Amino acid sequence: MSDKKHNKKQDDCTKEETQTTEEPVQEQSQDQQLSLAELLKEQIQHLEKANKKLEQKATSALQLAAEYKEDMQRMKKRSAEVEEEKTKKVVEDTALKLIPVLDNLMLATDKCQNEQIQKGFKLIQEQFEKVLAEMDVVRVKTKEFNPKYHEAISTMPAQNSKQKNKIAFVLKEGYTHGEKTIRPAQVVVYN
């Protein structure tokens, strides 16, 4: 029994040693937990800062993309406008070269004595005007003087108040392309 007592004493000592060694382990474990918690807290703060920076960069990238898209749309629109202006210019230049030929054809039609030839000239004149109309080039047809469409070469006295500012006769036809006058009509106006 003495062995049993001795063993029991040894077990009691071992328990006491274990208890005394466990207390610092628990204290150390709590210190480690605090250090770990602080480390995790620092890591979270670092990640939050990094996340904010990434969000700012993403927002900035989205803004740049939107600006780029707007710039591209403006550039496409401007390019289309430039192309349209070039096309208009080509049409106007071509029409201005063809209109004197039409003037001469109209003059020949008016001066022609032969009825058959005059009919042929009129058909050619109509065909010519149709081609110009397809290019959106049309003859000025207003009866009242308008400086936008007419160039007054001369004036003549009006016989009554209704004739005032009206066109007496056209010396040379005027033409428009869309809203733009490409050649004003040369007219004599009642005053």
* E strand spans, the chain: 137-139, 150-156, 167-172, 175-177, 180-183, 185-190
**In whole numbers, what is the pLDDT of the chain averaged over residues?**
87
* Tens of pLDDT, residues 74-105: 999 999 999 999 999 999 999 999 999 999 99
Q: Where are the domains of the chain?
A: 2-135, 137-191
Tell me the chain's radius of gyration from C-alpha atoms. 49
| Domain covering 137-191: architecture | Roll (2.30)
Average pLDDT over residues 41-59: 94
Strand 175-177 to strand 150-156: parallel, antiparallel, or no bridges (unpaired)?
A: unpaired
The three-point CA angle 155-158-159 to 5° equals: 150
Q: What is the pTM of this model?
A: 0.64
Q: Coil, helix or strand for 123?
A: helix
* Tens of pLDDT, residues 6-27: 555 555 544 554 444 445 545 5
